[in-house]
Amino acid sequence: MGKKTVRCPVCSNPVKPKNLPAHIENVHSPEAETNRRERQAKERSLAKQKAKERRRELVKCKKCAIKLMRKDMKKHMREAHGILPGSLRLISRRGSRVEGPKDCSACNKSKSPVWRYSESSRGSVFICAACKPRLFDRSFGTKDVMDYAITGGAFESSRRRH
């Protein structure tokens, strides 16, 4: 049932006995080694060329919708929008409180309670009470108490404004 194979004396790969001389000539000869190195060099140069073309590709900014080269996107996000690559930003203010100790995504400490935000620059994250104000300021800009009172504070919300 099983096919009989022998081990190659050079690389120990299983090879059929009738194919062993061809295997040694095609894989382990000096010419084969030279061909392999040339092929690998061509593949590396092709990969570099593709990477260079990819960096020159035009992409659209998700914030302001302008088109620019991919290689310039990080600089644009940093300078035009103040977003550092890899920094945690909230996309939505909507979060839910979670009881029990969880690791805060901003300070990496286990704290309780934390708030879970599903829309952020890193996907779903947990934020502790100490990091929440700083993260809100970084993500949405700073607001003081008067801004909250004017834009929809709940205090006496049923009263008429004069």
pLDDT of residue 6: 94
Alpha-carbon dihedral sign for residues 155, 159, 160, 162: negative
Query: Which positions of the chain have pLDDT values less than 70?
Result: 1-2, 82-86, 142-162
Q: pTM of the entire structure?
A: 0.41
Q: What is the pLDDT of residues 37-64, one digit of tens each?
A: 999 999 999 999 998 888 888 888 887 8
pLDDT of residue 20: 92
pLDDT of residue 53: 86
Q: What is the pLDDT of residues 91-101, one digit of tens each?
A: 888 999 998 89
pLDDT of residue 149: 61
